[in-house]
Structure 1
């Protein structure tokens, strides 16, 4: 698949996920709106993680000529997202909150910070 198309798809899913995730972290928890938007956020993050697994690493060492260190954060999202969802379904608020925080910090904050570093496409677009 065309790398640039994957970048656009990635941005189309991660940017609204960033907005939703930030709002969900700051807003009141447990409301019907939190639950509804949380499901949208989780789907967006899972889509984002799957898209990034299709994107070959452009900077640094690779495994199998494709996967780089940032792909580990995609795996974190694919793990912590479902764990957080099922924890919420069980009523385990603490496990849900910890996994959603890990998903947000790892999948958005850390990955986004790396994406903005010099030598990366997003850095060249923005700066």
Structure 2
């Protein structure tokens, strides 16, 4: 593993990757700790802000251009931002089932699926993780 490709990347990629990497231990903590208490809420807000940072920073990353300067990953970013609002609204409205479903989708659909995509050969995080 070498972080030099990340350190030499443009700032939007650095912000995007650092926020995404910070989400990994935070997600594990949120899935393993007791839900609904003060710690869960504090860590949850941190998770939401980091996920919003990942989604928003993606709009300045335009290496793959399908329509203008955007790609399908930017559509995922829009869905992620809307889903964050829905999940927070559900939690604040005590609709725990909806909150859990949306947050689970965000974790597996946005965070995990997009994360796996970044590990494909030729992508920056592939170079970071595998040192190639």
Instruction: Identify the residue that residue 62 of structure 1 maps to in structure 2.
Output: 66
Secondary structure at the aligned position of 1:97 is classed as: helix
CA contact (8 A) 1:76 1:106 kept: no
* Match among 10, 32, 35 for residue 29 of structure 1: 35
- Give the Cα separation in 2 of the matches to 1:105 and 1:73: 12
| Alignment map for 1:1-127 (pairs within 5 Å) | 4-58=10-64, 62-64=66-68, 66-127=69-130
Say which structure, 1 or 2, has more relative contact order (CA 8 Å, 6+ apart): 2
* Matched positions, count: 123
Deviation of the 1:17 alpha carbon: 1.6
Deviation of the 1:118 alpha carbon: 1.1
Q: Which runs of 5+ in 2 are unaligned?
A: 1-8
Q: Deviations over 1:60-106 (max 9, x none)?
A: x5111x21122222122101111000100000001100111111112
TM-score by length of 2: 0.85
